[in-house]
Amino acid sequence: MFNTNYSSDWLTATALSRPAHLALIADGEQYTFAELNGLVEKMAHRLKAVGIERGTLAAILLPNCADFVIVIHALARLGAILIPLNIRLTSDELRWQLEQTRCKVLIYGAATEQTTASLSDVVGVSFAINAAPNETKFKRRPTPLVGGESFQMDGIDFNALQSIVFTSGTTGHPKGAALTWSNHFWSATASAFRLGLMPDDRWLCCLPLYHVGGLAIILRASLYGMTIVLHNGFDLEAIVESLHQNRVTMISLVPTMLYRLLNAEMTFPDSLRLVLLGGAAADSTLIERCQALNIPVAPTYGLSEACSQVATMLPDEAYRKPGSVGKPLTFTSVRIVGENGASLPTGEYGEVVISGSTVFAGYYNNPEATAKTLRNGELYTGDIGYLDEDGDLWLVQRRSDLIVSGGENIYPAEIERVLREHPAVAEVCVVGVPNPEWGQQVAAAIVLKADAEVTEEELIAFSRQHLAGYKQPRLIKFVDSLPQTASGKIQLYAVKKLFII
């Protein structure tokens, strides 16, 4: 057996303490912690046989499945560094990420075999999880990460990299956020302090495992001894059935997913104690709908660069303050700063700056971006928000999404909130598009409710009742759906393309 260290190989520790407890429900199968640990041990030997070792950069190109979970833990056991890749990306986009990280190992499955073949000139080892060991394709032995000598043979340094997670790229080119074992440990600990732990908790994960929100759940559950109910994406009928059948107690969703569940008029099971809602700003009306239906929603704010959660508000407080994401988690501090970096007083809008043990190590192989984001150990998020008199955080908008028209600052979330109140509107995304006279003008992409009808003129007239003239959408386009990232966030650059000819 591999010489493990409980500071990083959390699965081994939990398999010893709760061997018969259910660890994973996925792909129609169930695995106890002892069974999962055994599968991880076998996978670790296979990966070691093709040269994966301490410090090796190893990319995974897989959909959500049990094998993905097994590989995550196997790489941890070997001390390798995980690079989870988005299976929805094109070969060119994946090529860029592999080249950016200089990763020479790609682990894939049947669903991603064709894409992997197109990247054969970039990687040195292509490892098929469902192939016999001698079928693994490789051109040269992968080399460990530069600086790998800092890894100790008797266990992984807590400050060593666990993963390089690429940001979702809602507004620009993705960057690889380097996360350490320390980041994940303190994030998991702080989350448990805020959300609580129950002996029979079951966390339904439909977020992609190549997103920090999904990856964090896998690692936290192995530390907590919690059961994961894993889904490959958000299938409404499958999620509804699973919530009841698998006695789910917790689920992580983005607002779009929760809207769909509410619109389905489903009955939420009594076992459900928390709906962790993040990934994008949750409109206050969504929280109010949850309160009316007695759904235990916990709005949360997080980002890849802070190893998922930063702040979370529990249901009772969320109902009292719809729109807030609550106080920062334990071990994390948040301050609001102005243009000069000085902290702003209560209630004033400014940039959200985070400090604490969950702040990432920087953008991998991107010192320029790192220098802009990490300053004196603090994470400058680019998000706009404010703290109220209770110390609760309110998010207004990502700074990169701010619209400046005729010298006026316009926050898209404010316009979206108004347009969403129109009875014909199901979903809306507001962006700024270039305008030679005003710099930018407001544009809105609208998804209508089934069988609903409304004209551009009617929507603009409606918004005029609630918004100042300079905030009015000048361009409106009706679409069947809004383009989204794998994590459920709206792809703002794709929305902008709808209006730029």
Hey, which bits of 343-424 come out as E strands? 350-356, 362-363, 374-375, 378-387, 393-398, 403-405, 408-410
396 to 264, 385, 484: CA distances (angstroms): 28, 5, 20
For the chain, what is the radius of gyration of the CA atoms?
23
Cβ partners under 8 Å of residue 489, min gap 6 = 168, 170, 254, 279, 280
How many angstroms separate the CA atoms of 491 and 486, rounded?
10
Contact 66, 26 (CB under 8 A): yes
DSSP state of 390: T
143 to 54, 140, 365, 500: CA distances (angstroms): 10, 9, 16, 45
Domain with CATH 3.40.50.12780 in the chain: 181-399
421 to 30, 87, 94, 428, 448: CA distances (angstroms): 43, 35, 39, 10, 12
How many of the other CB atoms lie within 10 Å of CB of 49? 12
pLDDT given at position 131: 65
Kindly write down the DSSP assignment for every residue of 263-300, as one continuous string. HTTPPPPTT--EEEE-SSPPPHHHHHHHHHTT--EEEE
pLDDT given at position 374: 97
Please give the CATH architecture assigned to the domain spanning 402-497.
2-Layer Sandwich (3.30)
Domain with CATH 3.40.50.980 in the chain: 10-19+35-147
pLDDT given at position 311: 97
Distance of CA 33 to the CA centre of its chain: 25
User: Which tokens is 261 given?
Assistant: 């569940």
Contact 128, 103 (CB under 8 A): no
How many angstroms separate the CA atoms of 220 and 191, rounded?
9
Mean pLDDT by 10 residues, the chain (501 residues): 58 94 96 97 95 96 97 95 91 90 96 94 91 51 39 60 82 82 96 96 95 95 97 94 97 88 90 90 84 95 94 96 94 94 94 97 95 95 94 84 76 86 93 82 94 93 85 93 82 88 66
β-bridge mates for residue 144, sequence order: 56
The dotted CATH code for 181-399 is 3.40.50.12780
pLDDT given at position 278: 87
Q: What is the pTM of this model?
A: 0.82
Contact 434, 404 (CB under 8 A): no
pLDDT given at position 393: 97
CATH of range 10-19+35-147; options 3.30.565.10, 3.40.50.1820, 3.40.50.980, 3.40.50.970: 3.40.50.980
The interaxial angle of helices 181-195 and 212-224, nearest 10 deg, is 70
Q: Phi and psi dihedrals of 350, rounded to 5? A: -170, -175
pLDDT given at position 152: 35
Cβ partners under 8 Å of residue 235, min gap 6 = none
Nearest to 303 by CA among 492, 465, 167, 394: 167
pLDDT given at position 200: 94
Cβ partners under 8 Å of residue 298, min gap 6 = 195, 274, 275, 276, 277, 312, 313, 314, 315, 318
Cα dihedral 58, 63, 67, 73 in deg (nearest 10): 50
Half-sphere exposure of 390 (CA within 13 A, CB side): 11
